[in-house]
Amino acid sequence: MKRLLITTLQALVFLAVPVVSLAQQQLVTDPEIYEKDHFRSECKVAEFGEGFLTRLDINNDGLMDAVTNRGELTCDGEKARSCNEDGCPFNFYVQVKEGGYLMIATATIYSYDFVQRFGNMVFVLKMHPRYCERTDSAPCEMTVRVRGTNFVTISKK
């Protein structure tokens, strides 16, 4: 009886775990439409600069992904209102084979470069020096690679 109860509980946990993980990530049809609709509902007048959305293959899988930059948003006449001394919020989306996009990261950074290193495309994120455990004024440069839907830190300086 005890063994049956344990087996039943294990089966319930096994079935519940995928549901919990799916609930944490929302699949969106298109990040540009998704984010612009969000800000159009938040602002009376929302204007999007040329660099608001960039489409590129961030995880080297051949599918076009997207990065949004809130520094290129003007909301009710106020440009980049969600930016501060740490930088501006950027959202990183990957396109999935089944269709749609997953937002895999949000980072407040100054800027980024998308460059090739050792045959793979990687981000060099420029951010506040404290992210590299520094107190000087030079930006921290963190090199990260996107594998699947995860950011993997390669180096910090």
pLDDT (mean) for 103-126: 93
pLDDT grade for 128, boundaries at 50, 70 and 90: very high
Sign of the C-alpha dihedral, residues 64, 68, 69, 72? positive
Q: Quote the CA–CA distance of 152 and 145 in Å, as a whole number.
A: 5
DSSP letter, residue 121: E
Instruction: Give me the pLDDT at residue 24, please.
Output: 46
Digit-coded pLDDT (tens) for 14-65? 443 333 333 346 899 999 999 999 999 999 999 999 999 999 999 999 999 9
> Collapsing DSSP states into helix, strand and coil, what is residue 27?
strand
pLDDT tens-digit profile of 3-17?
443 433 344 444 433
Query: For residue 80, what pLDDT is reported?
Result: 92
Is 100 a residue whose pLDDT tops 70?
yes
pLDDT band with cut points at 50, 70 and 90 for residue 136: very high
Rounded distance, CA 75 to CA 47, Å? 7
